[in-house]
Each structure stands twice: as structure tokens, then as C-alpha cells.
């Protein structure tokens, strides 16, 4: 994904090919959010007017860079995990024995595939929190970009969570998704936090 | 942007370079949303189970493709318009005459630069509406991607709108942004519509 041209990647996303899909879109949205955090930090660091926030901005910059690169890695992990799911669905189910084996493979693959969007959601939640942390000390000319970072990260968060929900709903044995469902519920509280952060930052723009 | 590698584009977004910035991020988010609509249509068209929705899906596919390409063109337009703004800010203001001329150039450039995110916001609003229209007839295995499309488009919409607000607030003569402000208020109603659409689609996932 790192080396792929934007136009070609969007063409692939738009196609019916199994990957890239929603998981990769979530990861890219998270990466866009992280990059916007970095941009704001870069526009703030070293300016005398914002000297009091210099340490915070440097710390946020380093963290956002790490998150951005990790987001792209998650997009690749999502494609691999989703490949295992589609492989499992393609297994034969002509006999009761085959159907049982296939359901078990689907179960295992879906649980593995749910791990990736859960991590993407957590990462996106952290980008939203970074936006909230830098909002007060950011270069005022870049405040709109702090809001933009939070909006992108929220889209990543929601996209990842809806993928988690779809995977859990598709489990052949739904009784065995408990731990994932709990983690999903935990991550979902980040959506409300994102909402509050975005509203607070937007309130600062243009004032 | 079309031919640029994703990693290099994100590097440029993260830098303090004037472009790409929030406007290009909004355009890419809108393009991701449109591509996800296309993917869902491509996963639905031609399947006997969804034959009743075939015409709608084909129409939505064609429209989403148009919107995706237009979104990337808006990213380029945003960079040009923003360049005119930064050029205007760099004009000398040593004399009252120069200061007046500079303020006028900033005013004109900012008004021009506000046109682009207004168009991006309208485009993103249309992607949200497309998501709402295809939600009932889409391949049920791709419903999470319909929600993802709406979430990406909403991020584009919010990012574009906050850029409009920041531009209008920066106008040297704020009394002359009336028409743009009215259009911005009109587009802002799309955010609430996006919110309702996303909630409705998410309610369908995993049921």
C-alpha cells in the first residue's frame, strides 16, 4: 500500500476484488488523521509564540508518526486476515463432516480477522486523543487541520468498529465471540469521546 | 495526486509544506467513500438474489465513479487555490497602500479558496446520500462497507466545512463573505443527514 499510487489503490478499492476493502479504508483514514496531527505539530514546533507547547508538540509528532506507519501495516494485515476468511468460505461442504470442518475454519479465520479492525479502532482512538491534546497549543492557523485529523480518525474508528460487528455477526458459533465482543464494546466508547473532541476543536476554529 | 504513491503523499501531508493539507485530505476521504460505494455496487450487480436492485446499483456505480474522479480533481484545485492564499500573505505591507492592496489580495484569494471545500462538501454529501440509497438493496455481506462509505464521506464533509469556516473567519473584510456563509450553512445541514444515514446503515449491519 505504501508504494501503490493513490489512483490505482482507489481503483482496486472500488473493484469487487476481496482486498483492499473496508479494513484498508479504515487504516488509510487513520493514517490521514495521524499525518494531519504531524502537519499541525510541524507548523507549531519552533515558533516563538508557541514555545510553551514545544515539548508536547514534539511528543505528539513522534507518536503520530509511529501511529501512521502502524496504520499502513494494519491495512496489509487486514488483507491477509480477510484472505483467510474468503479461503475458508470456499471450502467444500458436501458432507456433514466437511460442513463442520468448514464452519470451524470460518470461525477461526473470522476471529483472527476481527483482531485487525479492533487494533485499527484502538489506533484511531489514540489519534482522536492526540487531536484533543494538541488543540489548545496548536498554531491557530492550523486549528482546522486538528479538527480534520479528528474527523478522519473518527471515520477510521467507525469503519473499523462496523467491520468488527459484521465479523462477529458472521461467526458460525456466535457464543464464542465473547472476549472480542467485550473489547469491541470497550473501543466503542471512543466514538463518543471522538464526538466530544471534534465538537470542542470545531468550536475553536474561526473564533 | 492520482499517480503519487500513498506513502509519499502521506509524508507530504505530514510535513509543514503548504500542500497537501486539510483540503486534499477531505477530497481523498470523499474519494475513499465513493470507491467503497462502487465496491458494494460491484459486489451486488449481477447477483440473482439482488436482481430487483440491479438498475439502482448500476446507476449508483456510475455516479460514484464520477464523484471519485471529481474528488481527486478537487484536491488539485485546493492546492492551487491555497497557493494563491499563501502568495497573498507574503505580499509586502510596509506602507498603508501596500497593506490595503495585500488585504484585498488575501480577501480575493480566500474567497476563491473557499469555493473548493464548498464543492468538496457538496460532493461528500452526495456520497452520503448514495450510501443511504443503496443500503436496502446492497449485498448483505457488504453492508459494513456501505456504513464505511458513509463514515468516510462524513469525515470529508466535516473536514471541508471546517476549512470553509476557517477561511471565512480569516477574511480581512468579514462583511463580504455573506454568500459563501449562506452556502456553507446550507451544506452544513448535510452533516445531520449523514449522521442519520450512518446510524440507519449501522443498525442493519450484523442483524
pLDDT at position B32 is 98
Among A13, A64, A158, select the one facing B151 at the smallest CB separation: A158
CA B160 vs CA A59, A139, B116, B167, B177: distances in Å: 28, 19, 8, 11, 17
Please report, for residues A31, A33, A150, B125, B144, the alpha-carbon distance to residue B28 in angstroms, rounded to integers and kept in the order given: 12, 12, 15, 14, 20
Q: What is the pTM of this model?
A: 0.94
pLDDT in the model for residue A207: 58
Low-confidence ranges of chain B (pLDDT < 50): none
pLDDT at residue number A157: 95
- Tell me the chain A residues in contact with residue B166 when contact means C-beta distances shorter than 8 Å: 143-144, 205-206
Backbone φ/ψ region at A46: left (φ over 0), alpha (ψ -120 to 50), beta: left
d(CA B134, CA B204): 12
Over 90: is that where the pLDDT of A96 sits?
Answer: yes
| Residues of chain A with C-beta less than 8 angstroms from the C-beta of B127 | none
Position B130 scores a pLDDT of: 96
A203 or A160, which is more confident = A160
Mean per-residue pLDDT of chain A: 93
Q: In this complex, do B205 and A64 lie within 8 Å of one another by their Cβ atoms?
A: no
Residue with cell 514545544: A54
Q: What is the DSSP letter of A17?
A: S
Q: What percent of chain A has pLDDT over 70?
A: 99
Q: Is A129 an 8 Å CB contact of chain B?
A: no
Q: Is the dihedral of CA B108, B109, B111, B115 positive or negative?
A: positive
pLDDT at A15 (0 to 100): 97
Chain B residues with beta carbon closer than 8 angstroms to that of A35: 10-11, 13-14, 25
A44, closest residue in chain B (CA to CA): B16
Check if B110 contacts A (Cβ < 8 Å). no
B94–chain A nearest CA distance, Å = 22
B184, B132, B191: which is closest to B158 by C-alpha?
A: B191
Per-residue pLDDT tens digits for A25-76? 999 999 999 999 999 999 999 999 999 999 999 999 999 999 999 999 999 9
Which residue of A11, A15, A147 is in closest CB contact with B162? A147
Q: For A100-128, write each residue's pLDDT tens digit.
A: 999 999 999 999 999 999 999 999 999 99
Confirm or reject contact between B60 and chain A (CB < 8 A).
no
Q: Does B85 touch chain A (CB under 8 A)?
A: no
Q: CA–CA separation, B23 vs B14, rounded Å?
A: 13
In this complex, is the C-beta atom of B130 within 8 Å of any C-beta atom belonging to chain A?
no
Which among B11, B17, B23, B25 is the top mutation candidate for probing chain A, defined by the most A β-carbons within 10 Å of its own β-carbon? Answer: B25
Instruction: With a cut of 70, say whether residue A206 has pLDDT above it.
Output: no
Residue B172 sits at the chain A interface (C-beta within 8 Å): no
The three-state secondary structure class of B5 is strand
CB contact under 8 Å between A151 and B143, yes or no, is no
- Residues above pLDDT 90, as percent of chain A: 72
Counting every residue written for chain B, the total comes to 207
CA distance B25 to chain A (A): 7
Whether the CB of B103 is below 8 Å from some CB of chain A: the reply is no
Residue A176: its pLDDT value, please? Answer: 80
pLDDT in tens, B150-172: 999 999 999 999 999 889 988 98
How far apart, in whole angstroms, are the C-alpha atoms of residue A6 and residue A8?
6
Minimal Cα–Cα distance from A118 to chain B, Å?
15
pLDDT at A46: 95
Query: Which residues lie across from B5 on neighbouring strands?
Result: A5
User: Are the Cβ atoms of B205 and A165 closer than 8 angstroms?
Assistant: yes
Res B178: pLDDT: 85
CB contact under 8 A, A148 and B9: no
pLDDT of residue B206: 65
Residue B20 DSSP label: S
Residue A4: pLDDT band (50, 70, 90) is very high
Residues of B in contact with A25 (CB under 8 A): 32, 35-36, 148, 152
pLDDT in tens, A177-187: 888 888 888 88
State the average pLDDT over residues A8-17.
96
The pLDDT assigned to B55 comes to 97
Please name the residue that has the C-alpha cell 505528539.
A60
Amino acid at each position: 500500500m505504501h508504494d501503490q499510487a493513490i489512483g490505482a489503490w482507489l481503483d482496486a478499492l472500488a473493484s469487487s476484488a476481496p482486498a483492499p476493502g473496508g479494513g484498508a479504508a479504515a487504516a488509510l483514514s487513520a493514517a490521514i488523521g495521524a499525518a494531519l496531527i504531524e502537519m499541525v505539530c510541524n507548523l507549531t514546533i519552533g515558533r516563538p509564540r508557541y514555545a510553551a507547547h514545544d515539548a508536547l508538540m514534539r511528543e505528539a509528532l513522534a507518536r503520530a508518526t509511529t501511529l501512521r506507519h502502524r496504520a499502513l501495516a494494519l491495512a496489509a494485515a487486514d488483507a491477509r486476515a480477510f484472505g483467510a476468511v474468503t479461503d475458508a468460505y470456499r471450502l467444500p461442504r458436501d458432507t456433514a463432516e466437511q460442513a463442520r470442518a468448514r464452519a470451524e475454519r470460518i470461525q477461526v479465520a473470522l476471529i483472527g480477522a476481527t483482531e485487525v479492525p479492533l487494533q485499527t479502532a484502538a489506533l484511531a482512538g489514540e489519534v482522536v486523543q492526540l487531536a484533543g491534546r494538541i488543540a489548545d497549543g496548536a498554531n491557530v492557523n492550523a486549528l482546522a487541520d486538528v479538527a480534520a485529523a479528528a474527523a478522519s480518525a473518527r471515520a477510521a474508528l467507525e469503519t473499523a468498529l462496523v467491520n468488527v460487528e459484521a465479523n462477529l455477526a458472521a461467526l458460525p458459533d456466535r457464543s464464542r465471540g465473547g472476549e472480542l465482543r467485550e473489547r469491541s464494546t470497550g473501543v466503542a466508547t471512543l466514538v463518543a469521546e471522538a464526538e466530544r473532541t471534534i465538537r470542542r476543536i470545531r468550536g475553536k476554529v474561526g473564533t
